């Protein structure tokens, strides 16, 4: 009996081990596709944010670094192949783990651009990771060395020349968080919007870090005023101006519903019932997440909008000012 149990346990350990290996392989295997002559979209499985690699005469420019240090390291290798040489510049669209925790896969001293507010969120709400505290101490001290070190402030529009290309970056306003950066590859007319845009799925709204459904709508107007053809969203397939407008229409619909619910004093449950009957702009959206840890779906977005509209969650102050 004991022997059988021992064998069963051994099999279980093997299966679990194989599962972890497969999962690790899945998230560290990178695929890529051309978006323009010199811009590649790089993706991995799961909830990893979309990465852009720009090829220049001097080497690669990388937007976002996915979730794991190991992914960052693989991303760096791939970027050097796709981007014409060593990585010259990394940008973080915002502080969330699935867009920035791969930074330590790049050498300490790499130029890393983000908004000042993003760096504050990294050292604030995500401080344990970036200071290498607690469980993160296994990563070693150089995590701190790959925090953003070139910061965009307020309404500054930064033009960064690299190897014959122009990278234009700006913070168009609050939305997904209070510190999102959009990155325009000027000559290629490709825009990376980070999580200010997700395609075919539901957005996260980080009210606790400056996010706002209400502000997001006007923020998208400022993004749409830029000169571009193709858009890389934070999650989902490459789209265009029309794709960004569809997403904006969904936010508008949700915010209008939440605003009315707040004016009429509707409970969250009642608001979600109304949403189930009346929202149409999210036709075809599928939930995104890591159940049971978190799921981004229609109920989630409606809850966040209701919390903002009713004041049930105090939205953090406007980071711009």
* Among 120, 195, 282, 307, contact with Zn ion (rule: CB under 5 A): 195
- The minimum distance between CB 179 and Zn ion, in angstroms, equals 11
Closest distance of CB 321 from Zn ion, Å: 22
Smallest gap from residue 296 Cβ to Zn ion (A) = 10
Kindly tell me which of 147 and 262 has the beta carbon lying closer to Zn ion. Answer: 147
Residue 117 binds Zn ion (CB under 5 A): no
> In this structure, are residues 197 and 50 in contact, taking their beta carbons and an 8 Å threshold?
no
Q: How far apart are CA 185 and CA 167, in angstroms?
A: 5
Rounded distance, CA 246 to CA 233, Å? 13
* Degrees to nearest 5, angle at CA 52 with 237 and 154: 105
Q: Are 247 and 216 in contact (CB under 8 A)?
A: no
Structure tokens at 122: 């990294």
Among 66-74, 93-101, 256-264, 284-292, the segment contacting Zn ion (CB under 5 A): 93-101
Size of the site for Zn ion (CB under 5 A): 2
Residues 308 and 109: their CA atoms lie apart, in Å, by 39
Q: What is the rounded CA–CA span in Å between residue 91 and residue 265?
A: 42
Question: Closer to Zn ion at the Cβ: 165 or 171?
Answer: 171
H or E stretch including 241? Answer: helix 241-264
Select from 26-34, 95-103, 150-158, 179-187 the region that touches Zn ion (CB under 5 A). 95-103
CA distance 61 to 197: 21
Piece of the chain touching Zn ion by CB under 5 A; list 120-128, 187-195, 236-244, 262-270? 187-195
When the beta carbons of 113 and 162 are compared against Zn ion, the nearer one is 113
* Residue number with CB closer to Zn ion (96 or 304): 96
Closer Cβ to Zn ion, 163 or 233, answer by number: 233
Instruction: Say how far apart CA 107 and CA 146 lie, in whole Å.
Output: 7
Answer yes or no whether residue 307 interacts with Zn ion by CB under 5 A: no
Q: Is 96 in the site for Zn ion (CB under 5 A)?
A: yes
Is 304 a residue that touches Zn ion (CB under 5 A)?
Answer: no
Contact mark string toward Zn ion, 42..81, x via CB under 5 A: ----------------------------------------
Q: Is 308 in the site for Zn ion (CB under 5 A)?
A: no
Stretch that binds Zn ion, among 70-78, 126-134, 192-200, 258-266 (CB under 5 A): 192-200
Spell 238-270 as b/e; 16+ CB within 10 A means b. bbeeebbebbbebbebbbebbbebbeeebebee
- Binding interface with Zn ion (CB under 5 A): 96, 195
């Amino acid at each position: 009996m004991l022997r059988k149990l021992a064998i069963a346990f051994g099999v279980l350990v093997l299966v679990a081990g194989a599962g972890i290996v497969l999962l690790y392989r899945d998230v560290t295997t990178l695929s890529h596709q051309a978006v323009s002559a010199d811009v590649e979209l790089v993706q991995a499985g799961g909830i990893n944010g979309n990465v852009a690699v720009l090829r220049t005469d001097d080497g690669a420019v990388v937007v976002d670094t996915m979730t794991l240090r190991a992914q960052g390291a693989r991303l760096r290798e791939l970027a050097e192949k796709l981007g014409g040489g060593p990585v010259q510049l990394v940008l973080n669209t915002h502080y969330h783990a699935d867009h920035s925790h791969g930074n330590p896969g790049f050498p300490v001293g790499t130029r890393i651009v983000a908004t000042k507010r993003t760096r504050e969120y990294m050292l604030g709400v995500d401080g344990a990771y970036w200071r290498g505290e607690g469980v993160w101490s296994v990563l070693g001290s150089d995590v701190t060395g790959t925090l953003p070190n070139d910061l965009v402030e307020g309404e500054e529009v930064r033009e960064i020349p690299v190897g014959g290309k122009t990278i234009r970056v700006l913070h168009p306003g609050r939305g997904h968080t209070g510190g999102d950066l959009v990155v325009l590859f000027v000559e290629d007319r490709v825009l990376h919007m980070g999580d200010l845009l997700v395609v075919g799925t539901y957005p996260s709204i980080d009210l606790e870090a400056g996010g706002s459904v209400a502000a997001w709508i006007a923020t998208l107007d400022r993004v749409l005023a830029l000169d571009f053809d193709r858009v890389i969203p934070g999650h989902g397939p490459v789209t265009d101006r029309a794709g960004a407008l569809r997403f904006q229409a969904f936010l508008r619909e949700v915010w209008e519903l939440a605003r009315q619910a707040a004016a009429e004093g509707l409970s969250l449950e009642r608001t979600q019932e109304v949403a189930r009957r009346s929202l149409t702009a999210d036709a075809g959206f599928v939930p995104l997440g890591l159940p049971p840890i978190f799921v981004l779906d229609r109920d989630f977005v409606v809850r966040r909008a209701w919390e903002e509209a009713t004041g049930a969650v105090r939205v953090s102050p406007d980071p711009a000012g």
